[in-house]
Amino acid sequence: MARGLVTVFGGSGFIGRYVVQRLARAGWQVRVAVRRPDEALFLKTAGDVGQVTPVAANIRDDRSVAAAVAGADAVVNLVGILYQSGRQKFDDVQAKGAGRVAAAAKAAGATRFIQISAIGADAGSASAYAKSKAGGEQAVKAAFPGATILRPSIVFGPEDAFFNRFAGLAMLSPALPLIGGGHTKFQPVYVADIAAAVEKSLADATTAGKTYELGGPRSYSFRELMTLLLKEIGRCRLLVPLPFALATLQGAILQLLPMPLLTVDQVRLLKNDNVVGANALGFKELCITPTSVEAVVPTYLDKYRPLGYYNRA
Among 69, 136, 146, smallest CA distance to 111 is for 146
CA dist 203 and 289 (Å) reads: 17
Where are the alpha helices (H) located in the chain, listed in sequence order? 14-25, 62-69, 90, 97-108, 128-143, 163-172, 191-203, 222-233, 244-254, 264-269, 293-296
CA dist 137 and 115 (Å) reads: 7
Q: Kindly state the percentage of the chain with pLDDT values over 90.
A: 93
| Length of the chain measured in residues | 313
pLDDT in tens, 248-293: 999 999 999 988 989 999 999 999 999 999 999 999 999 999 999 9
On whether the pTM is more than 0.85, the answer is yes
* Contact call for residues 136 and 98 (beta carbons, < 8 A): yes
pLDDT in tens, 21-63: 999 999 999 999 999 999 999 999 998 988 999 999 999 999 9
pLDDT in tens, 98-148: 999 999 999 999 999 999 999 999 999 999 999 999 999 999 999 999 999
Among 36, 101, 31, smallest CA distance to 72 is for 31
